[in-house]
Amino acid sequence: QVQLVESGGGLVQAGGSLRLSCAASRSIPSILVMGWYRQTPGKERELVATISSGGSTNYADSVKGRFTISKDNAKNTVYLQMNSLKPEDTAIYYCNVWRVGSNYWGQGTQVTVSS
């Protein structure tokens, strides 16, 4: 069973930065896409950013130019660098790995941006 463990969340003032990490408990073969999603109470989980096995990235319009997704295949880790944070970025952030036949989620890490 693969586990995804997120870290790096916390409390930050508006305009600040955080870097989220998501490490897989073991190597995951045949990964198609790795990504970050977020969710706030009463709302559906929404896509923040994804990165394909080939390195192509995709971002939600709300985070373009502020967030950067990257990955380290050797470490089985995906990152989300978040700059110029806004109070509306406050949410629980979830890591996701989609591979052939399986979809994995982390437990989530809280990001709180104060105004």
> pLDDT by residue (tens digit) across 37-49?
999 999 999 999 9
Mean pLDDT of 3-10: 95
Mean pLDDT of 67-77: 94
Rounded to whole angstroms, the Cα distance separating 94 from 51 reads 14
Whether residue 27 is predicted with pLDDT greater than 90 in this model: the reply is no
What are residue 24's DSSP bridge partners? 4
Chain segment 80-102, per-residue pLDDT in tens: 999 999 999 999 999 999 998 89
Whether residue 30 is predicted with pLDDT greater than 90 in this model: the reply is no
Rounded to whole angstroms, the Cα distance separating 8 from 6 reads 7
Average pLDDT in the chain: 95
Measure Cα distances from 115 to 10, 19, 53, 84, 112 in Å: 14, 19, 36, 12, 10
